[in-house]
Amino acid sequence: MTILALDWGFIIEKLIMIAIIVLASLGIALYTTFGERKVAAILQDRPGPSRAGPFGLLQPLADGLKLIMKEEIIPNAANKWLFILGPGLAMTASLMTCAVIPWGSAVDVFGRHVELQIADVNIGILYVFAVVSMGVYGIMIGGWASNNKFSLMSALRAASQAISYELAMGLALIALLMTTGSLSLKTIVEQQIQGNWWNIVYQPLGFVIFFICALAECNRTPFDLPEAENELNFGYHQEYSSMKLGFYLFAEYINMIMSSAIMASMYFGGYDLPFFNEASVAPNIAALIGVGTLLIKIVLFIFLFMWIRWTIPRFRYDQLMNLGWKTMIPLALFNMLLTGAILLAKL
């Protein structure tokens, strides 16, 4: 019987990378809440959080400690196990997205050639869609298990909203895939680095459709109908407290971060820095510059998410559905057909 030899160096390398990316995502999500409050304060001409630590920088830590120390409450009529599973599934699904995102080029560490990507699968975008769809189950399970009619109505809204906008998002991606010929995010980024232009030049309409659908998928204003507190008291997490509530809140911010990373990778060159010659510096330095470039693009997208939230009022539910089915899907179909016609004309 042949015993397969395991490459323990490779396994340890991937485990370390998973730990770094997960912890970094949680840390960024923690301070994204602080950034959101500061952006809201600037737009509303007020100071925002400023008391916990210098410039209020310790406010996210204080908020996290408050969530951890609060009493865990599970309603008597709730389904206990599903009530716990809901936020855990939402959090897990949001973190799993990071596995296929190329964070930078390769680095050399202790003689090993390490790719700054957990898994370069050739169906990376399909993997992202599958994982994002799982996150909706976390909301549905939490809303149903709460045994609260408002939570259930909110969960149903979230499911119908996700279905409506995932269709348009998928059609927008088909046009991009027709242009790139690959489902691998790593390949898509490398094509933009080796080519003359980023994909935003070839797919401007596709990017706009994808961005609007990303707002809806992340339940961000003006698409935050599942959390419409003036209509549904508090939304699908009304009965949650302590870190169960924290998991739902963190999942939303991590989804926003990962959506920004995916949009930066697919349409804006990923870790590509324009007019930068990688050959002019050491490979490890070039890789770190690439990681910093991608993080800057992510931060800019996150700021755009926040700016929209504190500027545009929430849609009514009928407006949300009309936009998804009567505007976004026809536009995505038109973009796909136009892209196909252009590619056919080039043959």
Walking along the chain (347 residues) 10 residues at a time, the average pLDDT comes out as 60 85 86 89 86 85 85 85 90 88 84 82 86 86 87 85 87 90 89 87 93 88 73 74 86 90 92 81 85 93 91 84 91 92 85
**Torsion sign, CA atoms 280, 282, 283, 284:** negative
Structure tokens belonging to residue 84? 């716990």
What is the spatial distance between Cα 138 and Cα 94, in angstroms, rounded to a whole number?
10
What is the model's pLDDT at position 262?
93
| 305 strand-pairing partners | none
- Report the helix count and the strand count for the chain, using DSSP H and E: 13, 2
What is the spatial distance between Cα 99 and Cα 17, in angstroms, rounded to a whole number?
10
Residues in the chain, overall count? 347
Burial (CB count within 10 angstroms: exposed 0-12, middle 13-18, buried 19+), residue 344: exposed
| CB-based contact 273:291 (threshold 8 Å) | no
Task: For 108, list phi and psi in degrees, rounded to 5.
Answer: -105, 120
What is the spatial distance between Cα 119 and Cα 177, in angstroms, rounded to a whole number?
19
| 108 strand-pairing partners | 113
| 113 strand-pairing partners | 108
Q: Which helix (H) or strand (E) holds 38?
A: helix 8-43
What is the model's pLDDT at position 97?
87
What is the model's pLDDT at position 1?
43
| CB-based contact 140:152 (threshold 8 Å) | no
The pTM for the full model equals 0.89
What is the spatial distance between Cα 31 and Cα 52, in angstroms, rounded to a whole number?
13
What is the spatial distance between Cα 259 and Cα 195, in angstroms, rounded to a whole number?
24
What is the model's pLDDT at position 2?
47
Residue identified by tokens 């911010």 is 253
Task: For 172, list phi and psi in degrees, rounded to 5.
Answer: -65, -35
Task: For 121, list phi and psi in degrees, rounded to 5.
Answer: -90, 150
| 114 strand-pairing partners | 107
| CB-based contact 235:90 (threshold 8 Å) | no
Structure tokens belonging to residue 274? 């324009």
| 334 strand-pairing partners | none
